[in-house]
């Protein structure tokens, strides 16, 4: 199977290409297509992970369904046969990896929930015993469970720039007090539901990020949801605070790039086949653990 690194949909207007998704305008809706591109250290790599876009899309669809009673989302259809006829000739590029969605007015913040200390949260804690200005108890380690889940938003930077953690007060200044409080409430409610579900399947949801927007005055959940690209899933049975945890994401990719001492500047290198296959296996295992189903790529 060959990785799909870029879609070409004829005369369909292309709005842009992100690190993973190609975005098209379809009348007053949008078409999100998850390619097999993979990024690390804020760069898209030269090698893709075959089928990754399908796995991400199917995981998001699973969560949209499971979370539907908590928050509405932007999904219109995910079956290519239900897309406008002009898209049907491109079914080979779209099948299983695309979503036709409502066009929302997106909030310019990433809504992050953390139940465990890791990544940039850990680095801030080491420096100040806080995360996004939230005081945390002393004595926590890398990978420690927090006393309760916290809302730790970040900026949403375009063009590959690294997102920066910000305080809840900063979100209030950006979107208003009432909206900021609702974004925090929704973020923590979704995280709690998802973390409880993951725990029943032997997984720890350490942290995750959501994107929200408004449609006709209602806040809706958009983009991808609770995938290995937007979340840290850990093996519950192997969890041991004090360092990096066995994870279900692109850790094999990051480890490889560190091993070759890449300077994290463009152009990004490609990946050897064994790293590609091990990474793909982790994504597939995440899908199966969460949904109980196998996914044919």
Fold category of 1-103 in CATH? Phosphorylase Kinase; domain 1 (3.30.200)
Q: Which of 13, 62, 21, 63 is nearest to 38 (CA)?
A: 21
Give the Cα-Cα-Cα angle 21, 287, 122 (nearest 5 degrees): 75
> What are the 10-residue block averages of pLDDT along the chain, 297 residues in total?
96 96 97 96 94 98 97 98 98 98 96 96 95 95 98 78 84 97 98 98 97 97 96 96 90 91 94 96 96 92
Report pLDDT for 158: 61
97 by DSSP, 3-state: which? coil
Alpha helices by DSSP H, 52-210: 52-66, 91-94, 119-128, 168-175, 177-200
**Which H or E run includes 285?**
helix 273-291
Q: What are the boundaries of each domain within the chain? A: 1-103, 105-238
268 by DSSP, 3-state: which? coil
Report pLDDT for 144: 98
CATH number of 105-238: 3.30.470.20
Eight-class DSSP state of 247: B
Report pLDDT for 161: 56
């Amino acid at each position: 199977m060959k990785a799909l690194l870029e879609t070409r949909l004829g005369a369909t207007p292309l709005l842009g290409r992100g690190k993973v998704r190609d975005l098209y305008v379809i009348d007053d809706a949008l078409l999100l297509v998850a390619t097999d591109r993979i990024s690390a250290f804020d760069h898209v790599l030269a090698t893709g992970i075959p089928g990754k876009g399908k796995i991400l899309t199917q995981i998001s669809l699973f969560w949209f369904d499971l979370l539907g009673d908590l928050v509405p989302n932007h999904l219109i259809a995910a079956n290519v046969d239900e897309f406008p006829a002009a898209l049907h000739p491109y079914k080979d590029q779209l099948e299983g990896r695309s979503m036709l969605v409502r066009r929302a007015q997106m909030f310019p913040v990433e809504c992050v929930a953390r139940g465990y200390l890791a990544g940039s949260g850990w680095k801030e804690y080491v420096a100040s015993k806080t995360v996004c200005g939230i005081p945390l108890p002393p004595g926590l380690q890398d990978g420690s469970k927090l006393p309760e889940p916290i809302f730790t938003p970040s900026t949403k930077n375009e063009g590959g720039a690294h997102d920066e953690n910000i305080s809840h007060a900063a979100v209030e200044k950006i979107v208003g007090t009432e909206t900021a409080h609702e974004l925090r409430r929704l973020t923590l409610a979704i995280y709690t539901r998802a973390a409880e579900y993951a725990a029943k399947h032997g997984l720890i949801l350490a942290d995750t990020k959501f994107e929200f927007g408004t449609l006709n005055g209602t806040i809706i959940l958009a983009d991808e949801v609770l995938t290995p690209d937007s979340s840290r899933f850990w093996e519950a049975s192997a969890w041991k605070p004090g360092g990096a945890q066995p994870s279900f994401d692109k850790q094999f990719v990051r480890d490889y790039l560190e091993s070759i001492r890449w300077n994290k500047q463009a152009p990004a290198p490609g990946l050897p086949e064994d790293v590609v296959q091990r990474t793909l296996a982790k994504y597939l295992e995440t899908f199966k653990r969460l949904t109980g189903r196998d996914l044919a790529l």
